[in-house]
Amino acid sequence: MANASDPEDGEDRPADGSGPFREPEPIEPETPRAENVLFVLLGVLATIALLATAVFPNLI
């Protein structure tokens, strides 16, 4: 059976996926960056504008 390397842990394991199973590490929350906040706010505004034009087509 061929061995496939897993770049995450650097160990060789069989190509069929059998082998040791590791639990994924929990994702830790981080402080939001200004560019991420801006991107989300622009998405919210675009969604509201899209819904408003669908409900009131002659508004804009």
* Domain spans, the chain: 31-59
Per-residue pLDDT reduced to its tens digit, 4-39: 544 555 555 556 666 677 788 888 888 989 999 999
CA-to-CA distance for 45 and 27, rounded, in angstroms?
A: 28
Closest by CA to 14, choosing from 4, 28, 24, 26, is 4
pLDDT value, residue 33:
94
The tokens describing 20, both together, are 């040791």
More confident of the two residues 52 and 20 = 52
pLDDT exceeds 60 at position 1: no
